[in-house]
Structures are given as C-alpha cells and as structure tokens.
Structure 1
C-alpha cells in the first residue's frame, strides 16, 4: 500500500505541504474555526441550478483565499430545501480542484439512504484528490419523501447510521473487509479501494433534537455537527452540554473533540439593524417555507423524538424571531461579540449559512468580504 498521512516511511512522517493547514492532523483546541454551510434554497424562477451552483463555487473559492477553514455540503433529494445538492461528493470533488486549503466536508451524508461501501469509496476518492482535506459528516435524515423514494423505512434510520459508520471505518483500514450487515450483503474478505490518504478522516455526526444522537456521537468519539438555529441560545447551550458531558462519561477528553454549530449569517460594514432586516428577512422566510415543504410529511414520532420542535421553528423563520440569538449577523463589533458568546458555550467552529432564500450573489460576496477584512482578523485566535 502507498504512503498515507500519519504513516511513516523509514521513520519519517509523510505530510504533504498542502496539509500544513490547521484542521488536518492534530486538533488545535485553542483556535476557533469557521466554515461555510450549504443548504441552499432552489428558486428556479429567480436563478437556475447552473447559475446557483457556480455562484457557490465563486463563494468557496473566495472563502479559501481569505482563510475560512471548512465548506460543508448537505445531501437532500427531490426538495427545494437543498435538493440540488443531491450529489454532494461530486460537487465537493469539483471544489477540491478549485481550492487549495479549505477542508471539504459532507454536511451531512444521509447514511440511511446510502450503501456504506459506496460512501467509503466516494469519501476515499475525494480524500485522495483533495490531498487529505476531506471530513465525513453523517446524519439520519428527516425527509419522509426521501426515505419512501429510496425504499428505506425511517424507523431503521438510527441503526443504519450506526452500522454504516462502523462499516465505513473498517473499510478505510485498507484491510480485506469482513462485515456482517443487517441492511446490505455481507462483506467477506474484499478490500475497499481506494484507501484514504489520511489515516482516518474526521467523522462528524449531525444532531438536531434527539438526546440519543448526542449520546451516541460522544460514545463513538465523533465530533458534533449541530444545526443550532432551530433552537434558542439557552437550548443550544444545553444540548452542547449533553455532548460534552457524555464525552466525559465515556472517558473521552472534551478538548480532543470539536463542536461545529450552523447559523444563518450576514455581515455588514456598520451595524444597521433596520437595513439588515430589509436585506435578509425575505430570504430567511423563503428558506423557512422550503424547509416546511420538505418536512410536510412528519417522520415517525417514536423514531424522531423532538422533531416537532424543529417544525415549529422552521415555520416561524423570520428575522424578528431569529435575530440576534439564532443567527450570526450585523456589523463587525456585533459579530465579534456573538462569536465570543458562542465560543464560551463550547463551540469550536461556527459554520455560516450565507446562501439562503433569494439572497443575491452580490450581497453574499459583500458579506464574505466584510468577514474576511473586518471580522476574521479579530476572532481567528480566540
């Protein structure tokens, strides 16, 4: 087998120069990280998929240049709520060739809808092509139409995620794979190719409402990807504490694990709440409507405890309801203060949902420019 990051050859650890970027290798527990999270609203009457996809490419290329650490790509199917990112590995592979340093993460792979062997193959290919910049984010999914269309019972989603992640990790070992599965044909001694470039890419589990998800994430030693804008700041604080307390319960060091939280974001040269509302209120409402459409068929209430809270929050998505405690928005001083507030509750990465509703490319790029010039230098080392 060829050399992999973290493996040694004649006692020398091989690390590509391209991987000197923070985030690849040992966790830098003292430095806050920042990402872009993509769950865009498909509005074909305002911009077609081709235009929107290439707008995202422009955003990510700029984010890479200014030093943003991560880009996350959702997986959804059939719906306006992120549905044109149905092939997120293909999109991330394209971004791998257009960027140098930014880490590329699925946010998340819906493990219940995917063959874990294919996930391992896609992930390893992307890891190789990106020179070891890939992170695997996984989740259960919540859209009933997706499960029905792929013929997967929603009640099996948790078990499919847990077994699927276990299979992926074994596949990444590079050894012939022996695995007995409840949900796919057993593997009997075949290697899964290609291997990853990293010894093992970081794994993040996406959590929303279910306490069991936070518990399992900590038990397995995975990092936490939390879509925090569905709840107020106090509940977000509580749920992050669930994860951190569970890490200690299972004998894991809190400082060795990361917490990424996702928030809608918009950055301005100067604070102006009235103008901010004019710019983002309509697009936030459009985002909320698309989310409500996607969740029009509720998931199994026993398998998805707490999702009724998510639905209520999405229906009421508006600037007045979400600002300031469920977003990261405003002028530089406001945003810096908000990031410090998030850092204090244990968040190690804030990922910005900048592309939502019909917010224009011009507004998104202006917002990114303000973040890079006026905000990032003040929060990079907190």
Structure 2
C-alpha cells in the first residue's frame, strides 16, 4: 500500500492569523517532513477566495517550488479544478513539473464543488461537468499526440506541424492521471476513461466499497489506449487520520475540531457536497464518525481500522488528511507516529524487498 498526505493549505487562525500568509511555510514544512518520514506522495489542492478553507490558487507554481525542496516524494495535484483552467495549459504545466521533479508529478483533476470559486472567476458552475467532458479528450490529444485541432463549445485551439506541445514529460506516455469522484456518474466516467480514482475523506467504508466497484466496472470498459495511463486501476482513498499514544488522547486532541471541520462541507458554499459524496446528513457526532470514517486513535487502533478498510474496499493508496486546528506540533507528531508505527504493518520488511529485487 502507498501512503500519501493530502494538503489543502488550510489556515489555522490560532497560529496563522489573517491574512494567513504563514500557512504556506507551515504546509511546506509538513511536506518536507512527510518526505523525511517516508511517505510516498504529497498532494496539494487548488482553492480560491475563502478565508476559511484552502488558500492555493496555483498548484503548479507550488509543485515546481516543492520539486526543488524535495528529492524523492511524489508530488501531486489533488485536484486541479479543470473548469477553472485551460486544459492545454494544464497539460503543459503538468509536463513541465514532471521534468522539474525528475518524473515525480501526478495530476488529479475534478469538476469542482464550490460555487463561489466559479463566481469569482466568471465561470458557469452549472456547466462544469460539460466543460470537463470536453476538456479531457483535448488534454489526452495534447499528452499523447502533442497536436490538436479543436473547435468546441468551451475550448478552441489548433497546433499542427511543425509545432507541437512541449515540454515532453519524463513519465510515459504522460504523468499518472487521476480524477476525483464523488457521484456514481463521475466515478464511472473516471473508470471508462482510464483515470486513477481519488475518493473523498467523507464517505463511510460501505459507501467507498460501492464507489470502488462502480469504478472497477467502468475501467473494464475503457479502451486499451486509455488504460496506458500509469494511474489506471489505482484507487487513492483520502481519510481523516490522527495517531496518538492512546485512543483517549486522540479523541481529546481532535473531537471538537474534526466535527466543526466536516460540518463545513454541508454549507451552501460547497453546494451540498457532504450529502452528495457520502451517506452523511447534517447531524454529526464523533462516535458515528469513528465507526464510519475516521482513522483516529492509537497506532494499534488505526492499524486495525485500516486493515478492515483495506479488506472491504481494496484501496491501493491511503491519503492522510486532517484539519489544521490541532496545531502544528500535534500534527507533526501524528504524522511521525503513523510513519513509525502504522506504515510498517502494511509494508514488507526492507530485507524482503531487497531480496525480491
């Protein structure tokens, strides 16, 4: 199993007061620590305009910076909100970061779920899925053939010989491409188009199992060319994770903050996202979240919860996520405890890997 961390550049007003500039130094430090602790991937998320959620308008600028600050860890966008971006520029920039990172780029895309971001950038929120459906084949042309002639409803452009899209990425035929899915429609689309699948922090295990089954069925229908995507068949599940020495300590550190954070996804600013992507309603309590969603507790508790999740869903990658409200010191401690006490239970000993090689 791969292990990554999903960073939303989310401000903690107690430590990063308005205008929240300090959030980026803290996030960068956590990514550098994640590499030192042995995590496989670090993912950053595009978000605009909110003073209460992520502050990261340009994933590619940040990933290029991180490429120079790190040497091993995979660097991913989770996700680029495709309707807010030009698909050709997205493909170009992903290829460029892949070169700058020496083949460590992973590209996740999604349709978006926050209407205020679309309003602020003058985009049609209701047309976002149609925009993605038009943009994806155009991106594929850019990656696979590096030339195109497209005259569509939302995008127009032509590049023909002797011109082509450059740079050519290190990874072939392109960096691993993922799609974030929350509805049956988007999950099936991801499978049929050969994307890796990224699933939300919010659904319970039963919901995740159904979603992954829908994805696998769609992937079986994908043409062979689309299954050349290095991420095809990969399922990355994001979970709220917090490890402490005891279950009681984990609860004391997180209970109020995690309920407040998850409740945010039920507001008007997220277009009903909580109910759309999961089985949860507006009433949230910690015990229910522990039973369905959270990987919180001692290392032993988290290992048991993760084994059960793996058996039920077949996930291939876990993305650790958390709100910033616990404080930077406790977050660092949790990431370290997970790396030292939980990861080894899901990976072969180093000697076994060397012998297999």
Structures share a fold, TM > 0.5?
A: yes
Match runs of 1:246-325 below 5 Å: 246-250=218-222, 257-269=233-245, 271-272=246-247, 274-293=248-267, 295-296=268-269, 298=271, 308-310=275-277, 313=280, 315-325=282-292
When residues 309 and 161 of structure 1 are mapped into structure 2, their CA distance, relative to the original with a 3 A threshold, is closer
Aligned position for 1:241 = 213
Mark the CA change 1:34 to 1:159 in structure 2 (over 3 Å): closer, same or farther.
same
Secondary structure of 1:178's match? strand
1:172 shift after superposition? 2.2
Residue 173 of structure 1, CA deviation: 3.4
The match for 1:349 is 317
Q: 1:369 aligns with which of 333, 336, 346?
A: 336
Q: TM-score normalized by structure 1?
A: 0.81
Paired residue secondary structure (1:138) = strand
Q: Which residue of 2 aligns with 1:36?
A: 5
**Contact kept? 2:105, 2:175, Cα under 8 Å:** yes
Match of 2:169 in 1: 196
- C-alpha deviation, 1:312, in angstroms: 8.2
Residues 251 and 297 in structure 2, CA contact (< 8 A), matched pair in contact too: no
Residue 353 of structure 1: CA displacement? 0.3
Q: Shift in Å at residue 104 of structure 1? A: 0.8
Question: 1:298 Cα shift?
Answer: 3.1
Residue 230 of structure 1 corresponds to which residue in structure 2? Answer: 202
TM-score (norm 2): 0.86
Q: Distance in 1 between matches of 2:348 and 2:131?
A: 38
The answer for unaligned runs of 5 or more in structure 2 is 350-357
When structure 1 is superposed on structure 2, of 358-367 and 244-253 the one drifting more is 244-253
Contact 2:135 2:155 in 1 (8 A): no
Deviation per residue, 1:299-344 (Å, 9 max, x gap): 7xxxxxx864459847445533311420112111111122222222
User: Distance between the aligned counterparts of 1:256 and 1:231, measured in 2?
Assistant: 22
* Structure 1 unaligned spans of 5+: 1-31, 300-305
What is the rounded CA distance, in whole Å, between the counterparts of 1:257 and 1:148 in structure 2?
34
Alignment of 1:52-63 (within 5 A): 52-63=23-34
Q: Distance in 2 between matches of 1:73 and 1:82?
A: 13
- In 1, the alpha carbon distance for the partners of 2:167 and 2:348 equals 36
> Which moved further from structure 2: 100-109 or 33-42?
33-42
Cα deviation digits, residues 59-107 of structure 1 (max 9, x gap): 1112112221111111111124543122222222221111111111110
Equivalents in 2 of 1:180, 1:319: separation in Å? 51
Offset, 1:233: 1.7
Matched ranges for 1:104-143 at <5 A: 104-143=75-114
For each residue in 1:161-203, what CA deviation from the matched residue of structure 2 results, as whole angstroms up to 9, or x when unmatched? 1222222222223633333332122224242222212121111
Q: CA deviation at 1:158?
A: 1.4
The answer to whether the 8 A contact 1:38-1:353 is kept is: yes
Shift, 1:33, TM fit: 0.5
- The reply on whether 1:337 has 2:342 as its aligned counterpart is no
Instruction: Using the TM superposition, give the Cα deviation of residue 360 of structure 1 relative to its aligned residue in structure 2, in angstroms.
Output: 0.6
1:84-99 correspondence runs (5 A):
84-99=55-70
